[in-house]
Structure formats: structure tokens, C-alpha cells
Structure 1
Amino acid sequence: MRAPTALRRQQHQTTTQQFEFAIETTRQISNMSVTLHTNLGDLKIEVFCESVPKTAENFLALCASHYYDASPFHRLIPKFMAQTGGPAHPSPPDNPKGGRSIWGGVFEDEIRPALKHGARGVVSMANKGPGTNGSQFFVLFDKAPHLDGLNTVFGRIIGDDSTVTLGKIEAVEVDRKNRPKEPVVIERVTVHANPLAG
């Protein structure tokens, strides 16, 4: 049954306000953070708003609008990375590799020489080539210098709890196509204005 028109209008207004809050806050603060609450624990990400403003705006607005709620980690490659960020209910449903930006399509890279894929816990945009960023991103299990200049680094994992959670995710058994044999899911996301916030 469809929600009453007034309720749908209120829900749309709330989502719009969340988008606007995330975008405006991104423009005012050098760095922000979010916590991805996964079924294996929390991953807290410091977002480099000043260095990659458009990528940060997209990521934070998607977080604030609950776009990532129930999004699966559909690709896990031990000693390399964990990929997520597709919609929870993709179309077609057997394709978790979809996704979109807040502008409806793809957007350009923000490659910064100072931001490298140089350590475990680096967070970067997944893409299909130059200028094809949408909603998907990945977290490194190890340094991956071959991605420098190809993918936009926009954050890093921070905090001991996040380190433990990343280890749990990497330990999940995968099949021959690097798909996890047990679900690993972003249940919800908390957006923090301060990267040191609890």
C-alpha cells in the first residue's frame, strides 16, 4: 500500500534537507567523518572534504540520505580491497554493481598526487574508467600503488574499532569470483561533523 501523499511529501522534504545539510557542511569544514555500521562492526571513515570537495559532497550526501543503508560488500579480495556502495535493491536485482551519484549520473575524478593508495584503510572511489564515479567505493586491505592516478582517494579508516572490523571483513571466506560466502552489509551510516567525534 502506498503512503499517503502528505507523508510521501514529508519524507521527500526530509531527504532533501539531509542532502542540503551534508552539502553545506562539506563546504564549511575541512574534514568530516562517517561511521559505517556493518553487521561485522563499525568502520569510521575520515573524509577529505577540502582535498576532494566534489567526491566528498557526493559521498556525504548519499550517506545522509540513507542511500547506503543495507548496501552489501559485494566484492572482497584478500590482501587487496573490499568494495561496496551499490544500492541495496539494484535493478536488475542480481546486479549489485550499479549505483549513481547525487547528480543522477557519473562525475569526474579528483586525482590528487598527495592522496595515494599507500596504506591499509585508504578509502577510494570505484570506477569503470576515467570520469565514471557514481556511488561505489572500496577500502584497501593493503597498499595498492597501481591505482594511483586512476581512482580518487577521498578518505581513510580511523580508530582501533575500525581496524578490528576491517580485519573481520577481510577474514570472510569468498568464492572464486571474490564474492563473500556470508553477507557483509552496511546496516546504516552516521554522519559526524567532526572526524574525532564518537
Structure 2
Amino acid sequence: MSVTLHTNLGDIKIEVFCESVPRTAENFLALCASGSYDNTLFHRNIKSFMVQGGDPTGTGKGGMRPDTNKSQFFITYAKQSSLDGKYSIFGKVIDGLEVLDTMERTPVNPKNRPLKEIRLERVTVHANPIADQAK
């Protein structure tokens, strides 16, 4: 199972771990398939650490629904052992590392907000097993 994040800087393809973290994967795939991530911003960008998106408000304060795994997510630029056991890892980048390199180099303000918009324009879900189970 994979998704492609179509950003204004290029495409990032992610393999989603449906079997190892089914609830988190199902939540993420449902948000992708519903268009919830369309035209949202990556609102936080920390060099050598991560880029964060998925907030419908673009501020980092939205996407907090009760009894869900929320909508925000981040992509780390390198292995981050300090996060082990603290967050659900629900996928890995399998294509588009050059796009992540471009994101990482994007200048930010003192609050790590990109000075130039990094926009998630839309998401393509490839072979969604969650939707296939519902049929």
C-alpha cells in the first residue's frame, strides 16, 4: 500500500504500514482518500529533523478530533532515535527524497514556519485495502 503526496515542490511516495499499525494507517488513508489533506500547508520545518503537515488550519493547532489518531503527521529527514516509542511510525518514503531535500533547505522563521509555502496539493492513494474491505 502506498500514497503519493503531490506537493508544490514535487512528489513524495510513501509506503504505508497497514499491517503493523492498522488504526493509524486506516486513519491516514481515510484522510488521504477524503481529500482532507488537499491544499494544506506543511506548517513546520526543522532542518535535520522533520517537516510537519496535515493541519487543515495550516497553523499546527488544528486536526485534533476526539477518539482519532488526529490528522497531523511529520516526515523525518533522517532517523530520529529520540522519537522511538513516542510516535506511531506508519510509513516510509520510497521515492521523492530529492523533494524532501528541497523542503529541508527551505528557509524558515524563528518559529520554524517556512518563509516560502510548502503546500500539499493532493494525495493519490494506490491500491487502498481499507476501501477494498468496505466493499
Q: Using structure 1 for the length normalisation, give the TM-score.
A: 0.62
Long gaps (5+) in structure 1:
1-31, 108-132
Paired with 2:94 and 2:108, the residues of 1 have a C-alpha distance of 25
Equivalent of residue 105 in structure 1, options 40, 59, 66: 66
Aligned 1:101-140 pairs, distance under 5 A: 104-107=65-68, 133-140=69-76
| Deviation beyond 3 Å, 4+ runs, structure 1 | none
AA partner of residue 171 (structure 1):
R
Displacement after TM superposition at 1:71 (Å): 1.0
Displacement after TM superposition at 1:86 (Å): 0.5
Paired with 1:141 and 1:61, the residues of 2 have a C-alpha distance of 25
Paired with 1:151 and 1:53, the residues of 2 have a C-alpha distance of 14
Equivalent of residue 165 in structure 1, options 99, 124, 127: 99
What whole-Å deviation, never above 9, does each CA across 1:151-183 have from its counterpart, x for those lacking one?
000000002xx1111111101001111110000
Classify the secondary structure of the residue corresponding to 2:99: helix
> How many residues were matched structurally?
128
Percent of aligned positions that are identical: 57
- Higher relative contact order (CA closer than 8 Å, sequence separation 6+): 2
AA partner of residue 97 (structure 1):
K
Q: Is the 8 A contact 2:5 2:123 kept in 1?
A: yes
What whole-Å deviation, never above 9, does each CA across 1:114-164 have from its counterpart, x for those lacking one?
xxxxxxxxxxxxxxxxxxx301000001211111111000000002xx111
Residue 57 (structure 1) aligns with = 26
AA partner of residue 138 (structure 1):
F
Q: Using structure 2 for the length normalisation, give the TM-score.
A: 0.90
Long gaps (5+) in structure 2:
129-135
Q: Is the 8 A contact 2:44 2:51 kept in 1?
A: yes
AA partner of residue 107 (structure 2):
E
Residue 79 (structure 1) aligns with = 48
